Structure 1
Amino acid sequence: MTLRARLHRQLHIGSWPDGKLTGLNVFVVWTILAALLVGIVATEPQIRIPYQHEILVAEFVFGTIFLLEYLGRIFAAPEAEGPGSAWGKRLRFIFSPIGLIDLLVVVVSLAPFFIANAAVLRVIRLLRIISILKFSRFSAAMREIGAALRERSYDLLVCATLALVLVLLGAAGLYWVEGSLQPEQFGSIPRALWWAVITLTTVGYGDAYPVTTAGRLIGALVAIGGVLLVALPTGIVAAAFSDAMQRRREAMARALEEMEGALPE
């Protein structure tokens, strides 16, 4: 087995029949967790200021690891299944969603060492949280859940449409009923949209609320509708999650049966 083939086998879960993480994958996962933890802790001035040097060293190490991983995946991309030349497969990986996420993580991790602007630097440090998106590569279950959600995209779209209609009707109703009484909160439909969204989601900050009987009735209808609408996508997502886990278990059972069947008697 060539070096490129061994690297591809270590970096890509799909090359292993049971979908388990390899040693290199586990190392990358722990690196992502450590980088995320350092990025979060570094936002606290009482920790960032006295340990600034240690944080910079850690960030440089994380950025270097992510860069090496990214380059390794580009190098091993020709081993992926499917038609195309070696460089064609490399370009397909580079411009794929996960390849762009990898590149963005590398840029965000190493950019602080080349940018002196403090304000931009703080934003870049916060953007390092996107490294958690790399976890989608390390979990076959997440891919199953994503596929299940895509299958139910129409149902979720219907729920989102119903929520949008209810928000617009609630905002229009409060604008019509209390626009003249509370112009700051309900003087226009865009202003009333804030109240409608907060009421629909049952958050209720209390910064805007109806004072008339008709306005309160509209608010009650929006709140009740929000409770019902929140339950719909929750059920859809729960069903998608259950279906994904079931498919995952069935796939693992089939893989084990195939491996047992391939063993000599």
Structure 2
Amino acid sequence: MSTPEHHSLRHRVALALDPELRRRQGLSPANRVILGLILLSVVSGVLGTEPLVTQGRERLFFAIEAVLLVAFTVEYLARLWVAPEARGHPSRLRWMLRFDSLLDLAVILSMLLPFLGAESALLRLLRAFRLVQLARLGRYSRALSLVGETLRERRAELVISLAVTLGLMLLSSTLLFIFEGPHQPEAFGSIPRAMWWAVATLTTVGYGDVVPLTALGKFFAALTALTGVAVIALPTGIVAGAFAEAMERHRK
């Protein structure tokens, strides 16, 4: 049976790990340390892909990875232990099945596999996966949490804007295939080929590696470029408006 001292210790650890349980605003020292370790992990994962940086420093990177692996494992086990102290008092099994808990576990496994002799191709994938840790920052930042809340609230509108974007991309690709395909079969000889141009134009990137030559092709290309401005502005406006509403609710 658990003692009162045991519960008291567990509650103190929960307060140190979970910003939402703290009465005072701001992060605890433990939160700041974890944030620093997350950033160090991302930087180490990025620099570890450059041979000029890692050459001659293999032991240093090995030591950093070992320390990070131990630290994140301890953090995960501590969060598992204090899970009943969280809001709603979830069971430990329910806590383990939460998205952020699964993300934490996946990051730990991705850091463990290189120590078990994973193949080089898998190592490249694991280092890229390290960037997923940036999503963990939302646990410590109310602003980042509001971004996730905003996206969930406006997912229907965002799906509609995505459908509109895909429809315009398909329409512009088809038109350029019809008018430019006979003249530039390499770039517009099929609708899938023309889609590369449509994506670059609708997103206002405009690489310029492929341009229409016919009058009708140029006309529809201009319409596509002008439409691209609205296509970019539509989801941006949806997210910005919802984020402003969420911030206002939070202030109240």
Q: What TM-score do you get using the length of structure 2 for normalisation? A: 0.91
Partner Cα distance (1:18, 1:168) in 2 = 52
The answer to whether the 8 Å contact 1:141/1:248 transfers is no
Deviation at 1:133, TM superposition (A): 1.4
Partner Cα distance (1:55, 1:40) in 2 = 12
1:143 maps to which of 142, 145, 164: 145
Counterpart residue identity of residue 65, structure 1: A
SS at match of 2:211: coil
Partner Cα distance (1:33, 1:170) in 2 = 42
Does residue 4 (structure 1) correspond to residue 4 (structure 2)? The answer is no
Counterpart residue identity of residue 20, structure 1: G
Does residue 90 (structure 1) correspond to residue 92 (structure 2)? The answer is yes
Partner Cα distance (1:184, 1:104) in 2 = 43
Q: Any unmatched runs of 5+ in structure 2? A: 1-6
Partner Cα distance (1:115, 1:58) in 2 = 17
2:190 maps to which of 163, 188, 191: 188
Counterpart residue identity of residue 244, structure 1: A
The answer to whether the 8 Å contact 2:212/2:218 transfers is yes
Partner Cα distance (1:81, 1:46) in 2 = 47
Counterpart residue identity of residue 193, structure 1: M
Counterpart residue identity of residue 102, structure 1: D
Partner Cα distance (1:176, 1:125) in 2 = 44
Partner Cα distance (2:52, 2:151) in 1 = 42
The answer to whether the 8 Å contact 2:110/2:129 transfers is yes
- Aligned pair count reads 246
The answer to whether the 8 Å contact 1:136/1:143 transfers is yes
Counterpart residue identity of residue 31, structure 2: N
Equivalences for residues 51-62 of structure 1 within 5 A: 51-62=57-68
Equivalences for residues 108-119 of structure 1 within 5 A: 108-119=110-121
Partner Cα distance (2:220, 2:24) in 1 = 54
The answer to whether the 8 Å contact 1:19/1:140 transfers is no
Equivalences for residues 139-218 of structure 1 within 5 A: 139-218=141-220
Alignment correspondent of 2:70: 64
Counterpart residue identity of residue 226, structure 2: I
Alignment correspondent of 1:48: 54
Q: What TM-score do you get using the length of structure 1 for normalisation? A: 0.87
Deviation at 1:116, TM superposition (A): 4.2
Change (3 A) 1:20 1:34: same
Deviations 1:199-242 (A, max 9, x none): 10111122322111111111111110001221222222222222
Point out which structure has higher relative CO (alpha carbons under 8 A, 6+ apart).
Answer: 1
Change (3 A) 1:18 1:153: farther
Partner Cα distance (2:118, 2:202) in 1 = 44
Deviations 1:73-126 (A, max 9, x none): 111112223366xxxx11111111101110011011222111242222232222
SS at match of 1:211: coil
The answer to whether the 8 Å contact 1:156/1:236 transfers is yes
1:126 maps to which of 125, 128, 146: 128
Counterpart residue identity of residue 23, structure 2: P
Change (3 A) 1:145 1:118: closer
Deviation at 1:19, TM superposition (A): 4.5
Counterpart residue identity of residue 186, structure 2: E
Deviation at 1:18, TM superposition (A): 4.2
Deviations 1:227-265 (A, max 9, x none): 122122222222222222222322xxxxxxxxxxxxxxx
The answer to whether the 8 Å contact 2:83/2:89 transfers is no
Change (3 A) 1:198 1:141: same
Does residue 75 (structure 1) correspond to residue 102 (structure 2)? The answer is no
Partner Cα distance (2:191, 2:162) in 1 = 19
SS at match of 1:2: helix
Alignment correspondent of 2:29: 23
Change (3 A) 1:79 1:248: same
SS at match of 2:182: coil
